[in-house]
A = this chain, B = another copy of it.
Amino acid sequence: MPDPVVRDLELADGTTTPIVIGVGAFEHGADRIGAWLAGRTVFVLSSPTVRGLWGHATTALTRDAARVVELEVVDGEAAKTVATAETLWREMLAQGGKRDSRLLTLGGGSVGDLGGWVAGCFLRGIEYVQLPTTLLAQVDASVGGKTGVDLPGGKNTVGLFHHPAAVLADTRVLTTLSRDLRRAGLVEVVKMAYLLDPALLTRVENDLEALLEGDVERLATVVDGAVAAKCSVVVSDPREGDRRRLLNFGHTLGHAIEAALGYSEMQHGDAVGWGLLFALRLAERRGLGTEVADRLRRLLDRFDLPPLPELDPDRLIALMAGDKKAREDGLVWVLPRDLGVGEMVSGIGNDEVRTELIAFLNDPFASV
């Protein structure tokens, strides 16, 4: 088996976040972060399911810690609340957590987002390392320093930028994911590939079945490609101005669909898949070639996304208006202008969005 790859995400403050990717990333990481946690109090945040499957991986990592304190939250998005964070802070304080304590997050995007925020605010900030255990978290959530929790009014509406000291993305953990969760993660890969790396798009097209089936080597390759693409925009735009916002392709409607469904019925990645298809419509209206649009439609068609339940277009529009990325002057859409070329488009009127949305909900895969 090939060694894990290490991508160094260069941060604005001159530091770097090493992202270790591939089969054996945990073992590779043990050497890398051993000194970082030696002699420290180390908190390990996870959820019951993930700890049961992969908890043993952190045991090896933390062998030089002064002591290890396990923190547990429920699986999935439900863990991302302010109240859960407060419970964790109280426990960390009661357990003698100090400014030089460390936190490991072992889990999917929810555990990573929550844990990053908890680390970023505990005693005004302690260092942490992410061990993402879903494909979504490996390619997207764990890279770039975004952390946060949800409010009833919106997802990730409370949080901060707090970069992990390292990310260990071991693709072996993806074998215990369901095929559905691998698919949801692949949507984010496709999102990045379409706007940032057409060669990666071709790879996903060619290897789709093996990727969905959990081939750890092929998964390592696309995780590496997606992380490289993401790093390139994060580096050029650490605080999310225009360039980084390319990553929001598909997310404007995607977030609204999730919100409309209460964040439980549909995986984030699947909702983004539908969001990508809708963005294609708006993009075609602005000149995106039908052949280029259809290429993404054909690929997403092979994903077998879970069907969209009946949704009220006006409710979706209202939810999009409340998106945290909205500005006083309205929504900014991320749309492809061509394969490998994205742009920010503002000023699309509600009437147009509503018309397209109705057509889209009626036949999501149709060209305009």
Cα-based distance from A12 to B82 in the complex (angstroms): 30
Given A86-B82, A124-B160: A324 in contact with B151 (beta carbons within 8 A): no
Cα-based distance from A41 to B96 in the complex (angstroms): 41
What are 30 A-B pairs at a CB distance below 8 A? A40-B328, A82-B89, A86-B151, A86-B158, A89-B151, A90-B152, A90-B153, A93-B153, A93-B154, A93-B157, A98-B328, A99-B324, A99-B325, A99-B327, A100-B327, A120-B160, A121-B121, A121-B148, A121-B158, A121-B159, A123-B157, A123-B324, A124-B146, A124-B147, A124-B159, A124-B160, A124-B161, A124-B324, A125-B160, A125-B161
Q: Give the interface of A toward B (CB within 8 A).
A: 12-13, 39-41, 66, 82-83, 85-86, 89-90, 93-94, 96, 98-100, 117, 120-125, 146-148, 151-154, 156-161, 322, 324-328
Cα-based distance from A82 to B122 in the complex (angstroms): 12
Cα-based distance from A360 to B41 in the complex (angstroms): 33
* With A39-B328, A82-B89, A121-B160 already in contact, 16 other A-B pairs whose C-beta atoms are closer than 8 Å: A13-B13, A40-B328, A82-B86, A83-B86, A93-B151, A93-B153, A93-B322, A94-B153, A98-B324, A98-B326, A98-B327, A98-B328, A124-B148, A124-B159, A124-B324, A160-B160
User: In the assembled complex, how far is the CB of residue A122 from the closest CB belonging to chain B, in whole angstroms?
Assistant: 7
* A153 proximity list for chain B (CB < 8 A): 90, 93-94
Given A124-B148, A160-B120: A41 in contact with B98 (beta carbons within 8 A): no
Residue of B nearest to A156 (CB): B124
* A100 proximity list for chain B (CB < 8 A): 327-328
User: In the assembled complex, how far is the CB of residue A322 from the closest CB belonging to chain B, in whole angstroms?
Assistant: 7
Cα-based distance from A93 to B321 in the complex (angstroms): 11
Cα-based distance from A121 to B120 in the complex (angstroms): 10
Q: Which of B93, B94, B125, B151 contacts A90 (CB 8 A)?
A: B151
User: In the assembled complex, how far is the CB of residue A126 from the closest CB belonging to chain B, in whole angstroms?
Assistant: 10
